[in-house]
Amino acid sequence: MFSSRCSRFITNFNYVQAKQQIFSGILRTNSKSTCVARVNIVLKRWLSTQLINDGKLIIVRETEGRAVDRREMKFPTVWLRDNCQCSECFHDTTKSRKINWERCSNETAIRAAQVTVDSSKNAIIIDWQDAHKSKYDLKWLKQRDFSPEQRKKYTEEVYKPKEIIWGKQDYNKILKIYDFHKIITNDSDLYNWLKSLAVYGVTIIKDAPHDRTVSRQLADRIGFIKRTTYGEEFEVKSKENARNYAYLMTPLPLHIDMPYYEYIAGINILHCLVQSKSQGGANLLTDGFYVAEQLKQNYPKYFEILLKTPVDWYDIGKDSGMEFHNIWREPVINLDTDGRYHRINHNTTKRDSHFTVPLEVVDLWYEAYDKFLQIAYASTVELKTNPGEVFVFNNRRILHGRTAYSDSAENKRHLIGAYVDWDIIYSKMRILKANLEKV
């Protein structure tokens, strides 16, 4: 009777549950030989492997559980050998491949002689034709499965969260407001804030102290500030003999900061210390990815022109004790290697009079650019921050500007800003996500 109960119990286990309970001692109190034998059978049969294509492809199959849940994974042996995790091939402390590929580029090195399943270690073992031996953890393999579903999961959950584009009608739904103190003190709030920035491109932080270091505190919480030719932190206020158009009280048209940089500033952190009491001084913003998508859907010819035609962006001047002459040539619309929107370049004040394209392209480009701006301004929303609020946005994505305003002797609009690179942000997000999942 015991054997029958045990058999039914183990049959309904999935492998992980069985393994955890067996080795934690939960089943040892009833460790009759019949039960243990049944457990061993389940462990051995849970996974199967197949070597095909003359030893150049390995198929790993799950054989237990519901048919719809079983995974079949295929791994080229050349990739498996390149990613051998043994101490001879991989340095675990630095997470770095040690192997010199020239040693493994011959046929015997990348052909498997035998593949076996190590049930107790939840792994597969490969004996190679050149006598090398490799072991691969099943969880590790699952995370690197070449299936379309796993590749999509990795690119959208580990590499970069998938952006959600939004129009004027969606603004109130997508704008997330976060508390300054919670971001500074709580990792979960920090992660949620950064994820909102990555997905929607814009957030507001409230209840920041009246302190000139707020932007730096937020940057330091992520990683570190990106220094530019305008220094680390920068002050946005009306200045005599202004060296940047943003330091005037006149209307500031929609733009992206610093399109003249190859390594463009990632996010802009703008802390409001003093807001203008005049009717102006409001921020203007629109999702540049939305503008590009509208252009693609409705004016595909114009989209292709702005995607393929390089534009000369420049900045010449002197600030923070440094003279500079920056130039970067890149189209208005940029995609990444996966075809996702990556970066928008637009800044009328920093678009060079040099336009290094064939003559016949010029008129068409201006037509396309004009349509792009029509869509952008039609999609613009207005936001006027209050003292103690921080406006944070993706500078590669959010076109932003400002309405004109007037200072007075008693009221001078004053914001302090800082930039952080997206490389630093994505790195922080991955670390936070991994740590939070452990809790």
**DSSP assignment of 176-231:** EEEEHHHHHH-HHHHHHHHHHHHHHSEEEEE---S-TTHHHHHHHHHS-PPPBTTB
Per DSSP, the residues of 388-415 read T-EEEEETTTEEEEE------SS---EE
Confidence check: pLDDT of 96 > 80: yes
| pLDDT tens readout for residues 278-335 | 787 788 999 999 999 999 999 999 999 999 999 999 999 988 788 999 999 999 999 9
Q: Identify whether the C-beta of residue 381 lies closer than 8 Å to the C-beta of residue 209.
A: no
Query: Is the pLDDT at 140 greater than 80, yes or no?
Result: yes
Most confident segment among 41-50, 56-65, 172-181: 172-181
**pLDDT attached to residue 107:** 81
Q: Which two tokens stand for residue 168?
A: 């004027």
Contact 420, 267 (CB under 8 A): yes
In this predicted structure, what is the pLDDT of residue 1? 42
Whole-model pTM: value is 0.84
First to last CA, the chain: 41
Secondary structure (3-state) at 107: coil
Q: How far is CA 240 from the centre of its chain?
A: 40
Residue-level pLDDT at 20: 39
Q: Is the pLDDT of residue 38 over 60?
A: no
Are 122 and 137 a contacting pair, CB within 8 Å? yes
- pLDDT band of 135, cuts 50, 70, 90: very high
pLDDT band at 106 (very low <50, low <70, confident <90, very high): confident
* Cα 25 from Cα 15, distance rounded (Å): 16
pLDDT score for 21: 38
Domain with CATH 3.30.2020.30 in the chain: 2-152
Can you give the pLDDT at residue 347?
97
Predicted confidence at residue 15, as pLDDT, reads: 38
Task: Return the pLDDT at 321.
Answer: 83
Average pLDDT of 89-93?
90
Whole-number pLDDT of residue 299: 99
Could you report the per-residue pLDDT of 247-264, keeping only the tens digit for each? 566 778 999 999 999 999
Q: Which residue bears the tokens 């460790």?
A: 31
What pLDDT is recorded for position 12? 36
3-class SS at 143? helix
Look at residues 118, 146, 145, 104 and name the one whose alpha carbon lies nearest to residue 49.
118
* Higher per-residue pLDDT: 140 or 10: 140
CATH tag, 2-152:
3.30.2020.30
Distance, in Å, from the CA atom of 208 to the CA atom of 389, rounded to the nearest integer, reads 6
pLDDT band at 54 (very low <50, low <70, confident <90, very high): confident
User: Mean pLDDT of all residues in the chain?
Assistant: 86
Q: Is the pLDDT of residue 120 over 60?
A: yes
Q: For 195, what's the count of Cα atoms within 13 Å in the CB-facing half-sphere?
A: 15
- From 294, 293, 225, 254, select the one nearest 398 (Cα to Cα): 254
Query: CATH 3.60.130.10 occupies which residues in the chain?
Result: 159-438
pLDDT digits (tens, 9 = 90+) for 163-194: 999 999 999 999 999 999 999 999 999 999 99
* 307 phi and psi angles, rounded to 5 deg: -80, -30
Name which of 252, 245, 351, 246 is nearest 306 in CA terms: 351
The span from the CA of 286 to the CA of 335, in Å, is 18
Nearest Cα residue to 158 out of 380, 426, 356: 426
Q: Identify the pLDDT of residue 48.
A: 84
Angle between helices 33-45 and 2-11 (to 10 degrees): 20
Of the listed ranges 130-134, 236-240, 324-328, the least confidently predicted one is 236-240
pLDDT number for residue 62 = 82
Q: What is the pLDDT of residue 3?
A: 41
pLDDT at 6: 39
Domain 159-438 architecture: 4-Layer Sandwich (3.60)
**Residue 417: pLDDT band with limits 50, 70, 90:** very high
pLDDT of residue 150: 96
Residues 6 or more apart whose Cβ sits within 8 Å of residue 355: 311, 312, 362
Amino acid identity, position 117: V
Per-residue confidence at 33, pLDDT binned at 50, 70, 90? very low
